[in-house]
C-alpha cells in the first residue's frame, strides 16, 4: 500500500497544473523534413559455431561466392555454421549527404543462436522506392549472450541475435527534401490540438510583426495538427528564418482529461483535469485458498493390508471488510487518489473502479488501456 501511495504522489507531482513555455522545435516538426527507413538483407560471417544451416542461408552463401567468381558444385553442401542470414535496417535522417555515416541494426532471420563476434558483409540498404541509399558493413556490437548445456538447458541474457554497427552505414544517395520547394512552411504539431495550433499561429504572427486584424498574416492554422507559415523562397534566407522561428516559445494548451492504464504492468496515470460526477463505490475482496495435503497410511507389520496414500483438503476463506465511499460533483485528482488509498485498493482494484466509473458515466475524461 505504501508503494501505491508513493506512486500516486509522484504522478500528482508530474501532473501538476504549472504550465511552462516551450520552444516550437520541441512541439512541432516541419512537414517534409523527416527520416526515412532503410532495409536490406545480408550475411554475418565469423561466428564461433553459433550460425545456422538453412536452405536460404546456403543459397545466399552460394550467391555471394559466385559474385567473387567462385562456383560450387551443385551436389556440394557447404558447412556454414559460422554464417547467419540477417535483416539489416537503419533510419536515414533528413539532409544526410553521400559519404556521411549512419548507425545500422542487424537482426538474425533464421536459427542462429548468437551474432556475437560476427561481421556483416557489404549489404545494400534500400528505401521504399527500391533505390539503394546506403551500404552497410562492419563488426557487430552485441549486448546479449547465450549459454547452452549438453542436456539442452540454456541461459540467455538480453538478445544475442540482434546487434548494432555504430557508423556502419555509408550514405550513397541523398533524399530530396521539400524544405525549399514552396512559398511556405507547414509546422505539424506532435500532439494535434486546436487550441495549441491557434496559440502557435498567434505567437508567430505577434513575434514577426504580423497583424491578422488588418489582413496581414504570416502564420495560419490549417487544422488541429498543422500551421502554415509564409517563408522566404531563397534557401539561405529560409534557413535563417527557420532558425529564428523554431526558438520562439509559447505555452501549449492543456492535454485532454485522460486516464491511461497499462494492463500488463499495472501502471496508472491520471491527468490533472480528470473529474468525477456524483458516484458511490463499494470495495471489498473475497479470497478462497484450497490446498491439498497427501498422507500415507501404512498398516502394522503383522497386519494383512496395503500402504495407501490419502488426500486431505484444506479450504480457507478470507473476506475483507467491504467499504463504501462517495464522490461529490467535480472531484479532483488529489481527492480521488486519497479516497482510493483510504479503502486500501491495489492497482488492479483501481483499474476495476475506473472502468466501473466509465461504464456508469461518472468519469469525465478518456479511459485508455494500453
Say whether both 167 and 40 belong to one domain: yes
Say whether both 136 and 68 belong to one domain: yes
The answer to which of 227-241, 295-309, 329-343 has the lowest mean pLDDT is 329-343
pLDDT of residue 314: 56
Question: Is position 232 within any domain?
Answer: yes
Using CA atoms, how far apart are residues 108 and 326, in angstroms rounded to an integer?
Answer: 56
Report the chain's terminal Cα–Cα distance, integer Å.
Answer: 24
Question: Is position 18 within any domain?
Answer: no
pLDDT of residue 50: 83
Residue 368 has pLDDT above 80, yes or no: no
pLDDT of residue 12: 47
pLDDT digit string, tens, across residues 185-222 = 999 999 888 999 999 999 999 888 887 777 788 999 99
Say whether both 101 and 136 belong to one domain: yes
* Domain termination residue (choose one: 250, 272, 291): 250
Say whether both 191 and 233 belong to one domain: yes
Using CA atoms, how far apart are residues 145 and 110, in angstroms rounded to an integer?
Answer: 17
Looking at per-residue pLDDT, the higher value among 366 and 224 belongs to 224
Q: Which residues pair with 211 in a beta bridge?
A: 216
82 burial via Cβ count (<10 Å: 0-12, 13-18, 19+): middle
Which residues lie below 8 Å from residue 316, measured CB to CB, with a gap of 6+?
A: 288, 289, 290, 291
Question: Is position 280 within any domain?
Answer: yes
Rg of the chain (C-alpha set): 32
pLDDT digit string, tens, across residues 19-53 = 578 899 999 999 888 899 999 998 998 888 887 77
Say whether both 74 and 134 belong to one domain: yes
* Domain termination residue (choose one: 149, 171, 193): 171
Q: Give the total number of structural domains in the chain.
A: 3
Residue 120 has pLDDT above 90, yes or no: yes
Say whether both 47 and 160 belong to one domain: yes
Using CA atoms, how far apart are residues 24 and 348, in angstroms rounded to an integer?
Answer: 39
Which residues lie below 8 Å from residue 65, measured CB to CB, with a gap of 6+?
A: 71, 72
Say whether both 200 and 293 belong to one domain: no
Q: Which domain holds residue 242?
A: 180-250
- The pTM of this model reads 0.65
Using CA atoms, how far apart are residues 186 and 178, in angstroms rounded to an integer?
Answer: 11
Question: How many of the other CB atoms lie within 10 Å of CB of 181?
Answer: 9
pLDDT digit string, tens, across residues 46-96 = 888 887 777 777 777 777 777 777 777 676 666 778 888 899 999 999 999
- Residue 90 DSSP SS3: strand
304 burial via Cβ count (<10 Å: 0-12, 13-18, 19+): exposed
Using CA atoms, how far apart are residues 53 and 35, in angstroms rounded to an integer?
Answer: 36
Amino acid at each position: 500500500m505504501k508503494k501505491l501511495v508513493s506512486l500516486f504522489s509522484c504522478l500528482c507531482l508530474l501532473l501538476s497544473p504549472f504550465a511552462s513555455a516551450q520552444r516550437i522545435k520541441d512541439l512541432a516538426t516541419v512537414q517534409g523534413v523527416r527520416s526515412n527507413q532503410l532495409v536490406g538483407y545480408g550475411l554475418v560471417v565469423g561466428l564461433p559455431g553459433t550460425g545456422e544451416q538453412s536452405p536460404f542461408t546456403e543459397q545466399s552463401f552460394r550467391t555471394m561466392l559466385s559474385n567473387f567468381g567462385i562456383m560450387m558444385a551443385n551436389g556440394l553442401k557447404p558447412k556454414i555454421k559460422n554464417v547467419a542470414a540477417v535483416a539489416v535496417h537503419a533510419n536515414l535522417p533528413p539532409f544526410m549527404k553521400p559519404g556521411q555515416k549512419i548507425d545500422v541494426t542487424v537482426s538474425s532471420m533464421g536459427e542462429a543462436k548468437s551474432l556475437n563476434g560476427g561481421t556483416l558483409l557489404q549489404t545494400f540498404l534500400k528505401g521504399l522506392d527500391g533505390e539503394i541509399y546506403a551500404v552497410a558493413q562492419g563488426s557487430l556490437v552485441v549486448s546479449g549472450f547465450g549459454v547452452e548445456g549438453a542436456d539442452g538447458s540454456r541461459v540467455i541474457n538480453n538478445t544475442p541475435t540482434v546487434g548494432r554497427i555504430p557508423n556502419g552505414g555509408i550514405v550513397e544517395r541523398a533524399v530530396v527534401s521539400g524544405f525549399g520547394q514552396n512559398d511556405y512552411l507547414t509546422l505539424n504539431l506532435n500532439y494535434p490540438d486546436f487550441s495549441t495550433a491557434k496559440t502557435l499561429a498567434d505567437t508567430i504572427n505577434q513575434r514577426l510583426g504580423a497583424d491578422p486584424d488588418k489582413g496581414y498574416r504570416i502564420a495560419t492554422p490549417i487544422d488541429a495538427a498543422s500551421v502554415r507559415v509564409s517563408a522566404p523562397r531563397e534557401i539561405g534566407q529560409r534557413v535563417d528564418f527557420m532558425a529564428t522561428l523554431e526558438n520562439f516559445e509559447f505555452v501549449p494548451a492543456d492535454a485532454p482529461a485522460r486516464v491511461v492504464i497499462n494492463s500488463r504492468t499495472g501502471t496508472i496515470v491520471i491527468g490533472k483535469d480528470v473529474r468525477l460526477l456524483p458516484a458511490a463505490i463499494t470495495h471489498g475482496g473475497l479470497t478462497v485458498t484450497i490446498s491439498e495435503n497427501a498422507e500415507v497410511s501404512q498398516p502394522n507389520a503383522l497386519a494383512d493390508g496395503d500402504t495407501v496414500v490419502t488426500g486431505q483438503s484444506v479450504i480457507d476463506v478470507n473476506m475483507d471488510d467491504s467499504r463504501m465511499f462517495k464522490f461529490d460533483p467535480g472531484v479532483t485528482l488529489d481527492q480521488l487518489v486519497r479516497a482510493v488509498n483510504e479503502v486500501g485498493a491495489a492497482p488492479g482494484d483501481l483499474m476495476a473502479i475506473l472502468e466501473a466509473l466509465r461504464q456508469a458515466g461518472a468519469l469525465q475524461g478518456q479511459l485508455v488501456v494500453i
